[in-house]
Structure 1
């Protein structure tokens, strides 16, 4: 089954819709999960933060957005914006992309995997931590770069004593 998805800008001050930002006419259920589970989305070179989402009769889906703002710790804010905005490669299908905090900026990690089915990717987005080769990472933020079809997963290594 396929579903339509609307992205609508939301004004907190007015407690009202401002207008439609983007419309996708048909998404698989698994792709819809990914769209709803990320913290933010990049559409047409602009970053939007998810405010909430809803469905009408389980068929029509809407994600409410506001422009990317300083809701994250200032430690990460500028680096996140720079990293998200700076990626310009071409889309090759929905896939994860991992970025690791090095104390100053996010650095792209070597690919853990090159392709992940949308449902498996959605399952990863439900986790707060990722463990790879006995190293635990905190998942700080997730962004769907719709322009490139990449899910950017921002990580920080957890220091275990």
Structure 2
């Protein structure tokens, strides 16, 4: 009796699978651990200071800015902005888009020591909001919100001359 080659191949593979012991792969425990609890398998990574643009870490020649998201001050973010560089929120997602208050906290120069108070008093930060479409804006630079150390906490809604949606960029000099 002749059987087609394909039927013979299927029969051989069924017999081999029935008598074969399961093959244990070296990484099978790691795969099982990943499938059962992916959060445990990937522990959280802690932020390391970088100079490439992570604005939650201090860098040389930067200004510390405290931004709150509510009036009570419970939800706050402390960011470090480089001096003389305009940082856009579209390029730095860790920067808040709609803070309610802002305050200059401190400044780091090229050395790790804090800057002297007289140097810190000369720092000016400008916050450029995106204004509502209905607001007629002649020049966005004229309507930037200005922060200095002497101003202490600035309420951004009150300091802006027109209603705005979100922050477009930050610039400290």
TM-score under structure 1 length normalisation: 0.30
Rg: which structure is higher? Answer: 2
- Which has a greater percent of strand? 1
